[in-house]
Every structure is written in structure tokens, then in C-alpha cells.
Amino acid sequence: MKYYLGGVMPVFSDADLFRRIAVENPWWADTQSAGEATRGLGARRLFDVVLRVVADRNRKDIPVIVGPRQTGKTTIIRQVIARLIAAGAPARSIVYLSMKRPAYSDVEPAAMIKLYLSRLKTDVTPQPLVIFDDVHYLKDWRIRLTELIDLFPSVRFLAATSLGGPTTRGDADKPDRTIDLALPPLSFQEFLTLRGAEEGLFRSRIDQDRNKTMLYLDQRGVVLLNEQFQQYLNLGGFPEVAADRRSTAHGVADKLDEIADRLLSSELPGRVGIQDTRELQRLFSLLAWQTGDEFSIDGLAQAIGVAKNTLKRQLDYLESAGLIRRTHRLDEDGQRFQRAVTFKVHLTAPTMRAALFGPVGVEDPVMTKIAETAVIGQYLSDPNLDRVMYARWTSRNIDVVVCDPVTDKPTELYEIIWEESGLKEARRFTALTGFKKRNEDVLKVQALTQTTAGGANISGVDIRYLPVAAYCYWVGKQVSDRLADYYLGPGASAAASERRPAPVIASPQQQTAAAGGGLFDPAAE
């Protein structure tokens, strides 16, 4: 068979194409090469989920790793390949295809699979695994992947993309059997693990009543955790940079330049109808500078100087590229607005702002918004991400409201209070206490602070204080567990939870008692 360039000029044959494919699959000739590219690299928590989803031979959907550039999608793919081969899978039963390769630009995916299957040796196990990386280079890729399931029922599939979301879905009327596995920038917990800092922060004790190990933060631990949190905010979004303790703000800026060049200045925006990439870059810079702020389409369109329809397309693209996250507003009764006029925008990683405008310090006035951005970032891989919102009415607002995924009723309220002076003054919590009293389903009300832990009853409402760094660590762990349970079934995360329990944070009274280096019992409060 001959393959044509632009449908006109014959360029290469089946043999030529297969040689190109073989170059991308060196483990066919040397099984040891499967792990060479990722040797020494830590595994993100999504790795376990991807591995187990791919190993399930009964699935009738296509898992797609979705996340911005430089978050480790290809690394996870390589690690999955190495693990499968090490577990006994024939090396030639796995084929990796990066759709950004120019040699594949005019070749139908079905033709590539047929060619691959025709060259397989007879001793290869049933259900070979076909992996499409950079699948967003295929037009209407979700629909085309779905069609492959019916064309090749004996083949398992895995894909990865830097452009998820509705902008690449094609015709909504056609079936879509892809399932997204979100891989956002690093959570705070992953950042600590990559840096080898997690173990030294927490103290452990055996809880005899629950027969499990409990982790505790004492006063010194909070200080050390905050130091790491500041590093995370400025350097911690992307694995390659975060894992290198020698990383600097300049190195992060270089990495963001590389990401922006691919996502904002290349041909990719044009694939969804965005022609003026300078406008797109200007919008992204404004949103990065004001991360955590509330916007309206009318006001933002006027500020950027573009038509509202153009702005909506640009916002959709930035969100599908994993650069921003829009959160939606509730009223004081916990109700969604039928017509969403305003919304908040957060960067998916605070480090992007540091890369664009310089690192932020602990006393920087923007730290409250940066900390809020970090909190939202911990939820980005949550299968029920849409339940994370904010509330605003008249002159009151609540930074983060988490709703029940079934009832859609608000159950958790969080206010970021970085400047802690007057922390127990009732006026600082008018929004929290008022919202709680109007919404009986609310179970948890917390003030996320810089260093303070403990609690107080304010205007008849129990409010817990927790350092925002500790909260980010805890949420990152909980969301990872929910991700495993969602895709693999209830209880899938239980073993991981036993290995890495959530920490208990000491109250101010407990911290005072810790002068001699004692541990803390949460029952003591």
C-alpha cells in the first residue's frame, strides 16, 4: 500500500511506515529499553489507576490521559509499558504511536492498526495494546477513537492528549466511548513525594483503638510544611522542575515558555477556530495576573478588546488545554444561577504566575489569591470537579464551597485567611456563619490559615482553623483516593490510604504542650 502526502503525491509504502513505527517502539528489539526512558523518575499517583484500567481486558471504553503539557502523560505511558512487559506481556503486543509525528499526518489510525496487526508474530497474546499519544492532532479524535473500538474489538486502547474538553469532541450526536483520566499539574502531596520531603515533615504514632498508623504535625512541622508550600507555589507545578532541588524561578519560566509556545503560539489554537494567538496570550497573561478573581464575559471582553463569542472560544480553549479552571457561583441559599453571568478563574498551577511575573513571598499581598489557587488546584483530578464552586451575594463571599456530588447541596465551606490578625473576630466570618445558618446540609466550616490550627465557636457556628498547606496536602491525598475508587471501584484506594494516612494537625493548645517534643492526640481537643 502507498501513502500519499496531502492526498496527492505517493511518499512511502507499508514497509516505510512500519519502520517508522518500529523506531518508536524500541522494546520490540530490546525489552530492557522499555524502562530506560523513565528510570529514576517518580510515578505520579495516576500511574496506578492507568495501569489497572489498561490491564482490565473487559473494558469497552478508551481511557484517555488528559492534562496540560509537561505534567507527565508520556512518562506514565512509558512506565505502564515497562510494567506490563516486566509482568510478562510480549513486547510486540504493545505499540506506541505519537500522532504529532509528521509521518503519520496523512495516515488513518485504522490503517496503522491494520498494518501493525498484520506484522504481529503468531505467539503474541490476544488483545494487543495500542497507545495513541498526542491524540489531539487527530481531528474529532474522540469520535475516531470510539469508532476503533468497533473496528478492532480484540484490541485494547490507551490515549493521551494536551487538549481535552468539549472543544475537541466533534459532533455531539455521535457516540463517545472515551473516558478521561485527569492529570493536572502536581498536587502538593505529589510535590513533597517527588522531592523526598514527605517523610521528614510528619511524626507518626500507632493508634491502638483503630489499629493503624496516624500522622501528626507539631509546631515545627507546620513551619517546615509552610516552607515546602512556598516552594510549591513558586516552583512546584511540573514534575521535571519540581523533582530537581536545584530548580530556580528562571528554570520554571523557561518551562512555561515551552508550554506556552506549544499551546498558545502553535497551530493548535487554529484547530478550534482561534486565529489571533497574540490575543490569546494577552488573555492568558491577564488571567494569570488576576488568578482567583471573579470575572464576567462582558467585562473581560471589554478589557481584552475582543468580541464576546471570541472570548468564550478562547476561555474554552485555555481550559481544555489545562491552563485555567473556571469555577461557578452559588447564591446565599446554595443555589446555582440558571444563567451564569460571573465566574472565577484560577490557574491550574500557582507556579505559572510565578513563572510569568516572578516568585511570590510569604508577605506578598497577593498570597491569599495564590493560596486559593493552590486549593482549587488540589481538586483538579477529582472525578466530581464540578462540585467545587464559590459563593457570593450582596457584599459577602465564600472562597470555596464544596457540594455533595449526589444532592448538589453545599456541604463544606472554606475561607482562605492568610493574614491572621483578628482571627477570632466575628466580623471576619460573617459570610461563613450566615451561609451555614441558611444551609442546613453544611457539615464542615473551615478557615484555612497561614499557621494557626484549632477551632472556635463564632456566632453559634463551629469553625475549624487549619493551615492551608496542610489542607492542600490532605485534599491531594483524598482526591487521589477518590479517583482510584471512581475508575476502579469502591475500596480500590484502601491499601494506599493505609500506607499514607492523612495527618492530624495540632491545635494551638497542643502546640504549646509540644515544647518538649510530644505527639498530639486529636481526642485531646
Integer Cα distance of 49 and 416 in angstroms: 32
Q: How confident is the model at residue 5 (pLDDT cuts 50, 70, 90)?
A: low
183/264: higher pLDDT: 183
Residue 249 makes CB contacts below 8 A (sequence gap 6+) with 234, 235, 354, 355, 358, 359
- Asked which of 269-278, 321-330, 441-450 is least confident by mean pLDDT, the reply is 269-278
The phi and psi torsions of 181 (rounded to 5 degrees) equal -115, 100
With vertex at residue 256, the alpha carbon angle to CA 70 and CA 231, rounded to the nearest 5 degrees, is 85
**Backbone φ/ψ region at 292: left (φ over 0), alpha (ψ -120 to 50), beta:** left
Instruction: Write down the pLDDT at residue 212.
Output: 65
The set of cell numbers assigned to 470 is 496542610
Integer Cα distance of 215 and 503 in angstroms: 4
pLDDT at 502 over 60: no
Per-residue pLDDT tens for 88-142?
999 999 999 999 998 888 899 999 999 999 988 655 567 899 999 999 999 889 9
159, 131 Cβ separation under 8 angstroms: yes
Report, in this order, helix, strand and coil percent for the chain, each rounded to 5: 45, 20, 35
212/21: higher pLDDT: 21
Buried/exposed code over 446-457 (b: 16+ C-beta within 10 A; e: otherwise): bbbbbbbbbbee
Residue 517: half-sphere exposure toward Cβ, Cα within 13 Å: 0
Instruction: Write down the pLDDT at residue 456.
Output: 93
34, 48 Cβ separation under 8 angstroms: no
Instruction: Write down the pLDDT at residue 39.
Output: 77
Annotate 376-439 with DSSP letters as a single string. HHHTTT-TTGGGEEEEEETTEEEEEEEE-TTT--EEEEEEEE-S-TTTT-GGGGHHHHHHHHH-
462, 432 Cβ separation under 8 angstroms: no
The set of cell numbers assigned to 251 is 528554570
Residue 356 makes CB contacts below 8 A (sequence gap 6+) with 253, 256, 285, 288, 289
What would you measure as the largest C-alpha separation in the chain, in angstroms? 80
Q: How many residues does the chain have?
A: 525
| 3-state SS, residue 161 | strand
- Give 136's DSSP letter: G
Integer Cα distance of 275 and 281 in angstroms: 12
Instruction: Write down the pLDDT at residue 469.
Output: 96
The phi and psi torsions of 267 (rounded to 5 degrees) equal -80, -10
Per-residue pLDDT tens for 21-70?
999 999 999 988 887 777 777 889 999 999 999 988 888 899 999 999 88
The phi and psi torsions of 79 (rounded to 5 degrees) equal -65, -35
In order of start, what are the domains of the chain with their CATH numbers?
A: 2-182 (3.40.50.300), 188-516 (no CATH)
Instruction: Write down the pLDDT at residue 504.
Output: 54
Mean pLDDT of all residues in 409-438? 94
Strand 203-207 versus strand 178-182 pairing type: unpaired
Q: How confident is the model at residue 496 (pLDDT cuts 50, 70, 90)?
A: very low
The phi and psi torsions of 325 (rounded to 5 degrees) equal -135, 125
The phi and psi torsions of 29 (rounded to 5 degrees) equal -95, -30
Ranges assigned E (strand) in 173-323:
178-182, 203-207, 212-217, 294-296
Mean pLDDT of the chain: 85
